Structure 1
Amino acid sequence: MSTRILRSGIRFGEGPRWHDGRLWYSDFYDHAVHAIDLDGNDERIVEVLTQPSGLGWLPNGDMLISSMLDRKVLRWDGSALHPYADLSAHFTWHGNDMLVVPDTGRTYVGNFGFDYEAFLAEYGIDGLFGEPGPSSTVICRIDPDGSEHVAADELIFPNGMVLTPDGRTLIVAETLALRLTAFDVAADGSLSNRRVWADLSEHFGAPDGICLDAEGAVWIAAATTPRAMRIAEGGEVLEVIETSMNCYALMLGGPEGRHLFMMTAPSSESHAVADVTTAA
């Protein structure tokens, strides 16, 4: 295994997706979605002043973008941004990562649930993972007809999500609960049978972005540490990759799906990284 820096100069990279031969990603503090090929040729696709996060594609090829600050989902048709969904009635703080089911367009979106930076300033890291602890929140589901539903509640900072190849299990990273949580997915997209897929508290591996590999293991960006971890159902750590800075998001891609792209930064706090360039 070898590693290399594909691109430096990223403010804060999130939501990486492999699509049409390139890695697409959001840069929070550049306020834009980018796409980069394996040679490092980077294109700034579209500006999103309300801070982009999760990405995904509808069956017609339009891209959906989780717009964090206004708690909306936007649609990019290749030339302009359009409103797609307004989740502000359901979300209590910034929108977060997102999963779009490619063959149906059904979409699942998480949110912070509380003012993360204000809470951290008042209570510190011990307060995030101990007492008083963060507020719980919801994942919203947007169906192909545009209707919005609360898909799951009582989640602690729902973040990256993956769907198993058979479409029957959704796994979500509960970042501040230090776990991966799984749900059964019904034909109508509703979620049930909540269960802990992997408890990561022993490793203090706060899962941020996640992706699923061909063997059914989940790669997690362990946001509280400078590493990516490959996790089996039940929590066994199968592999660890050390990074130079904290790892916040990752995605498998490349011609054979065997390249692991990792987005790193010195911190997730806006005041610490908004004017600092990082790497992927």
Structure 2
Amino acid sequence: MAADVKVIDADAKFPEGPFVENGVLYYAQYGAGEIDKWDGKQRTVLWHQEGSGANAVQRFGDGFIIAGYDNGTIVLTDASGTTKTVIAQDDEGQKLLGPNDIALDGKGGAYVSLSGPWESGPIVGKIVHVAKDGKTRVLAKDIHYANGLVVSADGQTLYVNESEAGRVIRFKIAADGSLSDRRLYLRLYELGEPAAAYPDGIKLGPDGNLYIGEYSAGRILVVDPSTKKLVKTIDVPSAAAPNLAFSGDGKTIYVTAVDDKSAAPYPGKIYAVTNF
């Protein structure tokens, strides 16, 4: 049985990096440089900065944490969306190159992927950790376009999409949040996807499975984390399905999608998917 797919925002500009809280969907619009919130009836702007390339948002303390892909910043805001702190370099004094996606660590901090250059020659992607006080430290380097990332249900593993390599890698998470034991987890072609399949966002579903969004197709791949086997695919009628978020009851997936990847502002949609 095909899933039910409904458009809830037909005028999104490269929507990305969503999460749901108390029935409200928050998501980035990379093509508009803003963070929006959708309460089930209307969309309002929470935060905007021209040229930021806002790419992901998550709750962070009483406010929010935002990844600014284009201007190389991680922004911490208050509850109203007013900027409080702008992080522009890591603890090694290096500029943040392509802040992309965010995964909360369950302890008040967050992991943030720094992609490195688009269609990279040098493989210089990183994972950084942002503590509650904003302290930012580098935990992993030399990732081939670090993108979506998610913490396992037991808090012991971080999965990271290595987009330009078409694969998912994983790290062990120590008690202090540091990462070790980097390993290959799976390659998308092993799931039956084309060799050029491009993993983007990744989330842990309420069923315990990993849900991987593709920038190379309007498709979500559902993978059993223990067997690494494909459980099913969920398709939306757009060229790309880079990211997703689950409703509080787990019965709806909000899929951020792009219809035209050729030029800014990259028009797309937000889909609500049920009966999946």
TM-score (norm 2): 0.85
**What residue is the counterpart of 1:249 in the other structure?**
243
Q: Which one scores higher on RCO, CA 8 angstroms, separation ≥ 6? A: 2
Among 87, 100, 112, the alignment partner of 1:96 is 100
**What residue is the counterpart of 1:218 in the other structure?**
210
- The CA deviation at 1:189 is 0.6
Whichever structure has more helix as a proportion of its residues is: 1
Determine if contact 1:7/1:40 at 8 Å carries over to the other structure. no
**Number of matched residues?**
258
Code of the residue aligned with 1:266 in structure 2: it is D
- The CA deviation at 1:84 is 4.1
Question: 1:213-269: per-residue Cα shift (whole Å, max 9, x none)?
Answer: 13321111111112111112354211112221111111111x412211111113445
- The CA deviation at 1:209 is 1.0
- The CA deviation at 1:155 is 0.9
Kindly report which structure 2 residues correspond to 1:23-62, keeping only aligned pairs within 5 A, or say none. Answer: 23-37=25-39, 39-49=40-50, 50-59=52-61, 61-62=62-63
Among 137, 142, 164, the alignment partner of 1:149 is 137
Determine if contact 1:99/1:108 at 8 Å carries over to the other structure. yes
Determine if contact 1:182/1:194 at 8 Å carries over to the other structure. yes
**What residue is the counterpart of 2:10 in the other structure?**
8
Instruction: Flag structure 2 segments of 5+ consecutive residues without an equivalent.
Output: 271-276
Q: Secondary structure at the match of 2:242?
A: strand
**What residue is the counterpart of 2:273 in the other structure?**
none
Q: Distance in 1 between matches of 2:122 and 2:200?
A: 16
Q: Distance in 1 between matches of 2:134 and 2:67?
A: 15
Among 244, 253, 256, the alignment partner of 1:260 is 253
Distance 1:154 1:99, change over 3 A: same
Q: Distance in 1 between matches of 2:260 and 2:81?
A: 33
Q: Distance in 2 between matches of 1:79 and 1:25?
A: 13
Identity rate of aligned residues, in percent?
22
Determine if contact 1:182/1:196 at 8 Å carries over to the other structure. yes
Among 111, 122, 125, the alignment partner of 2:114 is 111
Q: Distance in 1 between matches of 2:49 and 2:150?
A: 24
**What residue is the counterpart of 1:231 in the other structure?**
223
Code of the residue aligned with 1:7 in structure 2: it is D
Q: Distance in 1 between matches of 2:95 and 2:188?
A: 26
- The CA deviation at 1:92 is 6.3
Distance 1:243 1:79, change over 3 A: closer
Determine if contact 1:91/1:113 at 8 Å carries over to the other structure. no
**What residue is the counterpart of 1:193 in the other structure?**
181
**What residue is the counterpart of 1:125 in the other structure?**
none
Determine if contact 2:18/2:58 at 8 Å carries over to the other structure. no
TM-score (norm 1): 0.84
- The CA deviation at 1:201 is 2.8
Code of the residue aligned with 1:278 in structure 2: it is G
